[in-house]
Amino acid sequence: MITIKEAITKKELREFITFSFDLYKGNPYWVPPVINDELAGFDKTQNPVFKNADARFYLAFRDGKIVGKIVAIINWEEVNSQQKKKVRFGWFDVIDDIEVTRALLEKVSEFGRKHQMEYIEGPMGFSNLDKVGVLTEGFDQLGNMITWYNYPYYKDHLEQLGFIKEKEYIESVFTMRDVDPQPFQKASSLIKQRYGLRPVNPATTKEVMPYVDQLFDLFNASYQKLASFVAISDEQKEYFRKKYISLINPEYIKFVLDKEDKMVAFTIVMPSFSEALKKANGKLFPFGFIHLLKARKKSKNVVFYLIGIDPSYQNKGVTAIIFDEYYKVFSKNNIDQCIRTPELEDNHAMHNLWKHFNPVVNKRRRTYRKDL
């Protein structure tokens, strides 16, 4: 018999998180989160997203043993501003038993119906800065800290339960040694001269901080037309500033400013922490943080996390400036592989940015939906 219990206490939430460690034990491709970091993200007193969102954390049990987990989320900013009566589900992990999946998703559906939602979609987090999608291709590829990994049967469970594809995402990789820098080097010089633009290359985290608010404002402006976009609030800006900025090698954050020092483009690239996180195995202490610090400075792989361009400068070649600056620092640091995070398959403008890099698609993922 399957029973579903809501995880409420810190102990229960820790069990919620560590179930995935048991499920993927020995899997060479799954990248574990930092347990305390996950706990902080689930803490309604710490994460400001809960000011505009409700969430329930459900655990599935059989014979006293945890066999699955899921988070039910209603982002009221999305519901009210976009009129999307949607209950999200995320942080979904389950053994290969469709009845467990059925029980967990029914619990999410009950939560949605209780609040008059019209459909369920997932896997997805609270906002566009969270992880998204169930992996459908690329099970033999190492994950990263900003995507979910899952077994192949997840897709089968969802489709057998009547869920249909909602959004498709692709991920890709390219190597710096295969890149010809001449096209964007030439374009960078022309674009800077034509529009009076200049790159800003912070050397320290302290130099990054004055630009962070502008960065998130531009993020909101750049992504507002995308499906399921939820704007980042002022409180969330501060939360993400503390949570992520210190992890990033400041050389890997690039800004482009106009003549009035207004930000017209930004990019955040992160060192790949995948191997370091596997070594840390969910814990920063006593040695986990050492692995992360080494990766921050010495990782030869990087992850393109975010790129944003002012709508009035899109399609004007501004990314040539950014790529020119990255080529310089990547060459200096002997960066080999560049990893692109999930991008909507139909976001052709985004895909076009990478045409000179010959990227190879190595993963696909999607969200699924079902009417309630």
Query: Are residues 256 and 318 in contact, defined by beta-carbon separation less than 8 angstroms?
Result: yes
Mean pLDDT of 192-201: 94
- Please state, in angstroms and as integers, the Cα–Cα distance from residue 352 to each residue in 109, 242, 268, following that order: 38, 32, 18
pLDDT at 228 over 70: no
More confident site: 222 or 361: 361
pLDDT tens for residues 289-324? 899 889 888 899 999 988 889 988 988 889 889 999
Percent of the chain with pLDDT over 70: 99
Radius of gyration of the chain (CA): 21
Amino acid letter for position 252: Y
Classify residue 149 by burial, with Cβ atoms within 10 Å: 0-12, 13-18, 19+.
buried
Same fold, 2-166 and 174-366: yes
Mean pLDDT of 124-142: 93
pLDDT bin (cut points 50, 70, 90) of residue 227 is low
pLDDT tens for residues 45-82? 999 999 999 999 999 999 999 999 999 999 999 999 88
Domain at 174-366, CATH from 3.40.640.10, 3.30.2270.10, 3.40.630.30, 3.30.590.10: 3.40.630.30
Domain at 2-166, CATH from 3.90.76.10, 3.30.1370.100, 3.40.50.300, 3.40.630.30: 3.40.630.30
* Mean per-residue pLDDT of the chain: 91
The full length of the chain comes to: 372
pLDDT of residue 284: 86
Q: Structural domain boundaries of the chain?
A: 2-166, 174-366
pLDDT at 248 over 70: yes
Mean pLDDT of 157-173: 96
SS3 letters for the chain? CEEEEECCCHHHHHHHHHHHHHHCCCCCCCCCCCHHHHHHHHCCCCCHHHHCEEEEEEEEEECCEEEEEEEEEEEHHHHHHHCCCEEEEEEEEECCCHHHHHHHHHHHHHHHHHCCCCEEEECECCCCCCCECEEEECCCCCCCCCCCCCCCHHHHHHHHCCCEEEEEEEEEEEEHHHCCCHHHHHHHHHHHHHHCCEEECCCCHHHHHHHHHHHHHHHHHHHCCCCCCCCCCHHHHHHHHHHHHHHCCHHHEEEEECCCCCEEEEEEEEECCHHHHHHHCCCCCCCHHHHHHHHHHHCCEEEEEEEEECHHHCCCCCHHHHHHHHHHHHHHCCCCEEEEEEEECCCHHHHHCCHHHCCEEEEEEEEEEEEC
